[in-house]
Amino acid sequence: GSEPAFAWRESGKPFRKNQPQFTRVRFKPRYPCPEQSSSTRLARKSMAASFKPNLYDPVVTAAFPSTHQTIKVLFDNHITADFKTIWLRDNCKCSLCVHEETRQKLLDTPSLDVGAKPKFLNVTDQGNLVIRWLENGNDHISNFDSSWYASTFGVARMLYRYGQSFMHETFDTDSTENHPDQPQIALWDRTEIWKNFPEISYNEVMESDEGLKAWLEMFYKYGIAVMRGVPPEQGSLVKVVNHFAYVKETQYGMTFDVVHEADPAAHPAFSGLHLHHHTDMNYREKSPGMQLLHCLKATDPKVLGSDPGGMSFFVDGFRVAKWLEENEPAAYQILTSTPIRFQIKNKGKRYSQLWPVICVNHDGDVSEIHYNNRTMGPLQVPSHIVLPFYHAYKLFSEKMRQESSELKFHMLPGDLVAFNNRRVLHGRTNFNPTSVSRHLVGCYVDIDEAMSNIASYYPFRYHFRGPLQAMDDYPVPQLIYEPLVIFVCSTTGQGEEPDNMKHFWKFLLRKNLPTNSLQYLRFGVLGLGDSSYAKFNFAAKKLARRLCQLGGENLLETGLADDQHDLGPDAVVDPWLSNLWEKLAIRFPLSEQLKPLNNSELCPPRWNVSLVEPSAETRVSNTNEQVPTYQPEHKLSADDPCCITVKTNSRTTAPTHFQDVRLIEFSAPDLNYSPGDVLMVQPHNLKSSVAELFTMLADNVTTSLGPDTIITVTEREPDMPVPRALSRPITLGQCAQQYWDLNRVRSFYSDDKTDMPVRFEMFLQATPHRYFFHLLSHFTTSELEREKLLEFTTAEGQEELYNYCHRPRRTVIEVLQDFSQTTPHIPLEYMFELFRPIKPRAFSIASSPTAHNKEVHILVAVVKYQTKLIVPRYGLCSNWLAALKPGDTIKAWVRGGSFHFPISQNVPVIMIGPGTGVAPFRSFVQERAAQGSARSDILCLFFGCRNSAGDFHCRDEWLSLEKDEKLRLFCAFSRDQGNKVYVQHMMKDNASLLWKLVSTQQAQIFLAGNSKDMPKGVKGALEETFQNYGNMTQGEAQQFLDRLERTGQFQSETWS
């Protein structure tokens, strides 16, 4: 009718002349992307961050329908470009199609009509292209204005840029990366996966190697594995990951919470919207291999009686790809050869990467799936590929979305799902966040370990020099010039290379590398693995194979160290290293003037340590001055711990009681916390241990060493940087008191990994390893001591070493005292090789932020116990805390705890906390009392101890709260009568009250204390209550208690 069939630019301005024409650059997709040099990568990232537009700004002058569902766009330099209508519809950037904040796509591409045609076209005076579409009887307007791409791009320049790709006839499809073989897997659909549902219990995984192995094998086989019964509390997910790997930090942090946010600008995952099938982070250079989701809170459909929504679903992308290959081979070819740009804006940063939907390896097997409609950018391919791609994309999506392809279930509190993010697509049904509770915690894992420095000191012995580096830190192109390289690598996950080897490995897999690239390289490979895994030492094997393919010469058979061997990895490492140096002695003979260092000669220490004469410039006040807090590689604290000051340090147990328990109150104006949080502290060594050390050092034959001796620690090699705590002149007294852990013996293996701090104080004694005794053997003047020290360094002597050091909890001070002919000869610089840094400890906060304003309290059981040694064993941190006096200042910070107390003040809370387990409940009850919401009808505390007059912690406070009817208190004093009475007995005596609170008022139950027998007894009392008052069978009572744990209605925090 009256609407024009085409759109002409309404402005009367003439065309600009002599503008540059399109350059026909062949498009090289990065799927998978080839590794580039560091400078190239930095240049690419820099360009993405600060793009500078060309001087020429093309202007759209006209647009009109052409043939084959195409719109022809004319620019003012007489260049035209053809845009498929489906491409234009798919790339509409209105608020209905794109999330305004993250720029993720809201439009569901597979739901579009591939044959979509515009109802109306128009080009405005500003050069904006306006298209009206008719969809489901309604108009939809696509306005390609200056905000279409970015504020610095006009629409013409954007269209001009994308239009280039449509003008090319081809794009390169040669992949420059060769993917390693995938492990044996089982493809599945809904029927197959439910027949062999991959699930296991939390206890099985955490308590036995067989359970962990079984769970990981499920993950390998199906790409997904479910764990049931994981404590539904913050920190549990990280605890599971740390059991077999470590968390991979991303732009979202170490972990992320998937919970509803009212902010409309929030990420779509934080809404109640339906999330279609997708894989995560396709816009990164390498998307994470494993994703884990742990459910903390969810509405149970069985309790609700209907589906509340928020159901999780998963699809085996490999099976869908296999179906596509067999039934629609043309579509399969399109999706494996067409690069898609995935992109996202997050916190001011833009991430962008090219991948095909289906990646295949060099054998033609599917290796990865990259699919996320929300982050898929505009298609940039030749024009004749556009329609076939959308047809193929739709076929793949429709097959994927069939119910027969989906594994679908409600995640309940305590459920944890791990899935291969490069194989299994996941999503979620919509739900109403105002009526449905849903809280997941997620993280990503590369399932790898850092390269061991097990052989770091051997090259010095044979006069070899060279850097010790992670493979990804090494400039790989330099490898062609290297005459000799020793590789040490572990194998992770599904036979994959470790995280710090991935770029190195990708470079080696380039197809364009000549087969004689490494003709001058001689190498050896030592693998560190575990034969309980299917791909045992696979990374080491394929590395050696690839190096040979490129012309390198393997000097000896690849070493395959096995953690499952009776003697551990040393059973392979020792003979492999001996063989290596024999080979090197033949291949690289030393000159006549040089001889290999024998065992009586030491390799250099990692740092230079020098004595400093006191002066105005180097003055260090005293040993009490705080050295910088030890910061492990994976930080367990805030970046800047604050100082807190002791107000009181009082004993809560009677003087005659065997156990010394302290309530320590600190002035802490800079700390913010909530009930359930924990206080992290950085302990110091006991003065007695420091005194014993300097008593021994006084006899040092090399130099006089005392607590006031000032030292500086500097780098010897750039690969061994000095930690921040030692970066300025300090006294030996500070080192001995605040930095060196005098209770522990340094490990032979990498000792800079973070040790998770204990939950409540316990004595930490690391399992000793051989390196400590290996070093000592070089310093002794006693043949008898040398013989014993060397015995401890052999693989055969490990049982003897265990019986000597680990079983009796022998400290490093005691070891040095035992080898009295060795200790006086230890050089100062080697003390930093023998002693490891003190690690932080954690304690439940026992105070209320409201009732105890600007204070923080902890309840500390002072650890002291006996082994076969005469001298008692003392807990480092608890005894240090017990010795603090009012006015003393220490460093501390707060970390979130595992207890999550109810926000509602009307929900009854049942607390079971014998002994020091009462600490978090003191925080919670005192906070409720300070808020005026503490009532005896909703707050119940079951406390247990030995004697009412001996160890009734905070007795007066509890009795006062009970008297004021703010708390219902039940006490079990196990030794105050002939028969022993524990908290579980008091619970059985009050079973009717417990059942009433749980069954009719949805009371929450919290349990804290020693994990030996008490938790089992408490759970037994609860199950007996459910049977007697809930008319349940034993099995039903157990299931009911399990459900309470899954939903977070029953939370426990116990320690050994």
The listed range with the strongest mean pLDDT (63-72, 150-159, 215-224) is: 215-224
For the chain, the distance separating the N- and C-terminal CA atoms, rounded to the nearest angstrom, is 83
Residue pLDDT, tens place only, 492-520 = 655 678 767 888 999 999 988 898 889 88
Residue pLDDT, tens place only, 231-287 = 999 889 988 887 777 778 787 888 888 886 555 555 666 677 888 899 998 888 778
CATH number at residue 836: 1.20.990.10
683 in any annotated domain: yes
- Residue ending a domain, choose from 416, 445, 474: 445
Least confident of 22-26, 369-373, 487-491, 727-731: 22-26
Strand partners for 353: 342
- Per-residue model confidence (pLDDT) at position 641: 84
- Per-residue model confidence (pLDDT) at position 750: 33
Alpha carbon dihedral 974, 976, 979, 985, in 10-degree steps, equals -40
* pLDDT of 763 higher than 90: no
* pLDDT of 17 higher than 60: no
Place 162 in a pLDDT band, splitting at 50, 70 and 90: low
Place 12 in a pLDDT band, splitting at 50, 70 and 90: very low
The listed range with the strongest mean pLDDT (163-167, 596-600, 638-642) is: 638-642
Q: In this predicted model, which residue has the larger pLDDT, 536 or 951?
A: 951
485 in any annotated domain: yes
The listed range with the strongest mean pLDDT (472-481, 561-570, 585-594) is: 472-481
201: left (phi over 0), alpha (psi -120 to 50) or beta: beta
- Per-residue model confidence (pLDDT) at position 22: 30
Q: In this predicted model, which residue has the larger pLDDT, 481 or 635?
A: 481
Indicate the average pLDDT of the chain. 79
Q: In this predicted model, which residue has the larger pLDDT, 362 or 690?
A: 690
Whether residue 246 is found in the same domain as residue 278: yes
178 in any annotated domain: no
Place of tokens 């739709």: 394
Least confident of 169-178, 388-397, 687-696, 871-880: 169-178
pTM beyond 0.75, yes or no: no
Structural domain count of the chain: 5
Under 8 Å between Cβ of 139 and 119: yes
* pLDDT of 739 higher than 60: yes
- Per-residue model confidence (pLDDT) at position 744: 62
Q: In this predicted model, which residue has the larger pLDDT, 759 or 964?
A: 964
Sequence-separated (6 or more) residues with CB below 8 Å from residue 433:
260, 271, 272
**Could you tell me what percent of the chain has a pLDDT over 90?**
32
* pLDDT of 153 higher than 80: no
* pLDDT of 41 higher than 50: no
Token pair listed for 613? 């004469």
In angstroms, the Cα distances linking 306 to 299, 303, 314, 902 are 10, 8, 21, 25
Whether residue 613 is found in the same domain as residue 741: yes
CATH number at residue 295: 3.60.130.10
Whether residue 539 is found in the same domain as residue 418: no
Token pair listed for 1003? 């009371």
- Per-residue model confidence (pLDDT) at position 127: 81
Q: What average pLDDT score do residues 293-298 get? A: 92
- Per-residue model confidence (pLDDT) at position 955: 93
* pLDDT of 366 higher than 70: yes
ω into residue 29 within 30 of 0, thus cis?
no
Residue pLDDT, tens place only, 947-963 = 999 999 999 999 999 99
Place 530 in a pLDDT band, splitting at 50, 70 and 90: confident
- Per-residue model confidence (pLDDT) at position 402: 93
- Per-residue model confidence (pLDDT) at position 5: 37
Whether residue 436 is found in the same domain as residue 463: no
- Residue ending a domain, choose from 818, 841, 864: 841
Least confident of 175-179, 592-596, 1014-1018: 175-179
Place 865 in a pLDDT band, splitting at 50, 70 and 90: confident
252 lies in which domain range? 190-445
- Per-residue model confidence (pLDDT) at position 596: 64
- Per-residue model confidence (pLDDT) at position 289: 85
453 in any annotated domain: no
Sequence-separated (6 or more) residues with CB below 8 Å from residue 888:
645, 646
Whether residue 94 is found in the same domain as residue 225: no
* pLDDT of 538 higher than 80: yes
Whether residue 298 is found in the same domain as residue 322: yes
Place of tokens 């004021």: 964
- Per-residue model confidence (pLDDT) at position 668: 93
Q: What average pLDDT score do residues 1011-1032 get? A: 90
- Per-residue model confidence (pLDDT) at position 466: 65
Instruction: Give the residue from 889, 875, 887, 873 showing the smallest Cα distance to 843.
Output: 875
Whether residue 814 is found in the same domain as residue 776: yes
Q: How far apart are CA 232 and CA 1046, in angstroms?
A: 6
Q: In this predicted model, which residue has the larger pLDDT, 45 or 768?
A: 768
Under 8 Å between Cβ of 488 and 526: yes
Residue pLDDT, tens place only, 89-131 = 988 888 888 887 777 888 888 888 888 888 888 888 888 889 9
787 in any annotated domain: yes
CATH number at residue 515: 3.40.50.360
Token pair listed for 458? 């051997």
CATH number at residue 143: 3.30.2020.30
Q: What average pLDDT score do residues 824-850 get? A: 87
Whether residue 430 is found in the same domain as residue 347: yes
883 in any annotated domain: no
Whether residue 433 is found in the same domain as residue 503: no
Least confident of 69-73, 423-427, 855-859: 69-73
* pLDDT of 405 higher than 90: yes
Place 32 in a pLDDT band, splitting at 50, 70 and 90: very low
- Per-residue model confidence (pLDDT) at position 464: 66
Strand partners for 257: 441
* pLDDT of 682 higher than 70: yes
Residue pLDDT, tens place only, 427-462 = 998 888 777 788 999 998 874 432 233 344 445 556
SS3 call for 89? helix
CATH number at residue 956: 3.40.50.80
Q: In this predicted model, which residue has the larger pLDDT, 564 or 339?
A: 339
* pLDDT of 621 higher than 70: no
Whether residue 411 is found in the same domain as residue 505: no
Whether residue 314 is found in the same domain as residue 433: yes
- Per-residue model confidence (pLDDT) at position 651: 94
* pLDDT of 829 higher than 70: yes
Q: What average pLDDT score do residues 658-673 get? A: 92
Whether residue 196 is found in the same domain as residue 303: yes
SS3 call for 485? strand
Strand partners for 315: 406, 425
126 in any annotated domain: yes
Three-state SS for 383-437 is HHHHHHHHHHHHHHHHHHHCHHHEEEECCCCCCEEEEECCCEEEEECCECCCCCC
327 in any annotated domain: yes
Q: How far apart are CA 332 and CA 321, in angstroms?
A: 7
* pLDDT of 639 higher than 90: no
**Could you tell me what percent of the chain has a pLDDT over 70?**
78
Q: How far apart are CA 711 and CA 739, in angstroms?
A: 14
Instruction: Give the residue from 877, 637, 845 showing the smallest Cα distance to 756.
Output: 637
Instruction: Give the residue from 474, 472, 480 showing the smallest Cα distance to 551.
Output: 480
- Residue ending a domain, choose from 841, 866, 881: 841
